[in-house]
Structure 1
Amino acid sequence: MPKSELRCLAASVLVGCAALAACSVWVETPDDRRPGPSGAGDPGVELDLTTFEIVDLTHAFGPETIYWPTDTAGFLLEQLAFGETDGGYFYSAYALATAEHGGTHIDAPIHFHEGGVDAASIPLRRLLGPAVVIDITAQAAGAVDYRLTPADVEAHEAEHGEIPPGSLILLRTGWSARWPDALGYLGDDTPGDASNLHFPSYGDEAARLLVEERGAAVLGADVASIDYGPSTDFTVHRIAAAAGVPSLENLTNLDQLPARGATVIALPMKISGGSGGPLRAIALVPGPVPSGER
């Protein structure tokens, strides 16, 4: 997957997440703006987060972040200020630089489809929804360049039911356990050379099935690309991008998600005109929250 060498410089954090107050939050729906019988607006729909475990699907950005081999600059964090100010209070600030397609990130459709939407224009409804985790760890353990097949998808559906439209498909290969060992993760760690990579991912026909027949909202994976390592034509990217489907790459902790039932929220840095960008992805998994995390 050829990666753009465009670099973005900012003095802010990669992605901001609003703090969750206490153990529940209020989510406003369009109808909530209508005045009730008393003339006051309804408070909204309560989402009780004590009924979910929150799983972080994101690798942290830092010196060990893995990038596509053709991006040799990696992640840069420059200290601008750190310490006590003349006013007597502590203050720190940094500038950061990163290629769009390194670490846990999103590929916008424009990455592989002329006229596709950019990173800032991806509809939010595509980035929040039910997760379907397809597990090919057993197949990948015996074949480093394994590609998901239609038969794998059908076997998943035979056990868990047909994949509903609008699902965020997450391919679990087990490769995230190799992070941040670039050689083990990519199959080759030669700087500037992406011609000898080896890792599993989606196959072309399985991608067509998921995107064109099942109506997937997103294709994601715990590897460096939604095309397998040796790919030179990047057909899976092209299939997804042509259908307006973003991809999520270098995910982690997919082993903590069920095959069905989790809800994924995948919010990238909102880069105007960008072909992708750093991503903070989480999953809400129904179940009791450990007492120490409430």
Structure 2
Amino acid sequence: MKIIDLSVTISPEIKEPLPTSITYEDHKEGARKMGSKLFNGLPADAFIDGNGPAGEFITVTGHAGTHVDAPWHYFPTCDGKPSRTIEQLPLEWFFSDGVVLDYTNKPDGYSITTNDLKEKLAAINYTLKPFDIVLIRCDADKRIYNEDFVKIHVGVSAEATHWLIDQGIKVMGTDGWGWDIPLYLQAQDYLQNPRPGVIWAAHYVGREKEYCQIEKLANLDQLPPFGFKVACFPAKIKGGSAGWTRAVAIFES
């Protein structure tokens, strides 16, 4: 068996609009706190060489690092019913055959159409089946520490998102910051010509059809177009709009 990591590291160094912060405690600090709080006031020297447990305190959103968006993220309702949160979704969705569609030839900000999807699938001679996990590659993960990281991915259009769901796809993902085209392009378009269907268009597909998307994947360049499994089980966060995932590709030997 071979496993390839498809996840980025949760880190303050990633240029997120809502950045992560991590406060680390070393073993000496761990001994002081562990002794006083959990061992009824034991001194730090009760631990071997004064070394207790190292730890960290993390301030982070559910959308930091590689994560799975739940239907609740998109809208309060889906098809007239309350949208499901991340801990309510079936685990079966998050372990299935993977398919990589390579759009590294497209410029940053390009909006992938249904025809683009059909052409790419024809080029790799693959027919989608229900519950495949479709991964959009643009290699944005190679620039994840750039100041303009949120601006340098391709997006998937609303009509293409509809089409994927209509093929039975429940989970789709991207190595870009977001599933839609970059936010600044959406804002520019709307301000020039205010109208519905511009802001968050692909996300809002979730108002009508239930699906999940993985954002900020990594290492899709190390995968073939198909012939592997994807595991991307999200963390269980009560009422969560998303959950972090250590997504991996699995090749059976």
Q: C-alpha distance in 1, partners of 2:57/2:88?
A: 25
Find the partner of 1:271 among 227, 234, 237.
237
Deviation at 1:237, TM superposition (A): 1.0
Q: C-alpha distance in 1, partners of 2:130/2:90?
A: 16
Find the partner of 1:78 among 8, 12, 23.
23
Find the partner of 2:150 among 172, 186, 195.
186
Residues 267 and 87 (structure 1), Cα distance of their counterparts in 2 relative to 1, 3 Å cut: farther
Higher mean C-alpha displacement, 230-239 vs 116-125: 230-239
**Which residues of structure 1 form unaligned runs of 5+?**
1-51, 188-197, 288-294
Residues 80 and 148 (structure 1), Cα distance of their counterparts in 2 relative to 1, 3 Å cut: same
**Alignment check: 8 A CA contact 1:112 1:238 kept:** yes
Residues 150 and 278 (structure 1), Cα distance of their counterparts in 2 relative to 1, 3 Å cut: same
C-alpha offsets along residues 194-228 of structure 1, whole Å, 9 cap, x if unaligned?
xxxx531111221111112x111211000011101
**Which residues of structure 2 form unaligned runs of 5+?**
32-43, 77-81, 188-198
Whether 1:205 aligns to 2:169 is no
The amino acid of 1:95's aligned partner reads: F
Whether 1:163 aligns to 2:128 is yes
Residues 122 and 260 (structure 1), Cα distance of their counterparts in 2 relative to 1, 3 Å cut: same
Give the number of equivalent residue pairs: 217
Whether 1:127 aligns to 2:94 is yes
Q: Secondary structure at the match of 2:10?
A: coil
What is the TM-score with the length of structure 2 in the denominator?
0.80
Q: C-alpha distance in 2, partners of 1:124/1:161?
A: 25
The amino acid of 1:145's aligned partner reads: G
Residues 63 and 131 (structure 1), Cα distance of their counterparts in 2 relative to 1, 3 Å cut: same
- Equivalent residue, structure 2, for 1:236: 202
Structure having the larger proportion of residues in helix: 2
- Equivalent residue, structure 2, for 1:257: 223
The amino acid of 1:247's aligned partner reads: Q
Q: C-alpha distance in 2, partners of 1:103/1:65?
A: 8
CA RMSD in angstroms, aligned pairs only:
1.8
Deviation at 1:93, TM superposition (A): 1.9
Structure having greater relative contact order (Cα 8 Å, sep ≥ 6) = 2
The amino acid of 1:107's aligned partner reads: D
C-alpha offsets along residues 13-49 of structure 1, whole Å, 9 cap, x if unaligned?
xxxxxxxxxxxxxxxxxxxxxxxxxxxxxxxxxxxxx
- Equivalent residue, structure 1, for 2:190: none
> Counterparts of 1:113-152 in structure 2 under 5 Å?
113-114=75-76, 115-138=82-105, 140=106, 143-152=107-116
The amino acid of 2:22's aligned partner reads: L
- Equivalent residue, structure 2, for 1:49: none
Whether 1:215 aligns to 2:160 is no
Q: Between the two proteins, what is the percent identity of the paired residues?
A: 27
Deviation at 1:182, TM superposition (A): 2.8
Q: C-alpha distance in 2, partners of 1:107/1:123?
A: 14
- Equivalent residue, structure 2, for 1:37: none
Q: Secondary structure at the match of 2:186?
A: coil
- Equivalent residue, structure 1, for 2:47: 88
Q: C-alpha distance in 2, partners of 1:170/1:241?
A: 22
Q: C-alpha distance in 1, partners of 2:46/2:7?
A: 37
**Alignment check: 8 A CA contact 2:11 2:65 kept:** no
**Alignment check: 8 A CA contact 1:110 1:241 kept:** no
Q: Secondary structure at the match of 1:182?
A: coil
- Equivalent residue, structure 2, for 1:57: 6
The amino acid of 1:231's aligned partner reads: Q
- Equivalent residue, structure 2, for 1:103: 65
Whether 1:282 aligns to 2:241 is no
Q: C-alpha distance in 2, partners of 1:96/1:171?
A: 29
Q: Secondary structure at the match of 1:103?
A: coil
Q: C-alpha distance in 2, partners of 1:281/1:101?
A: 14
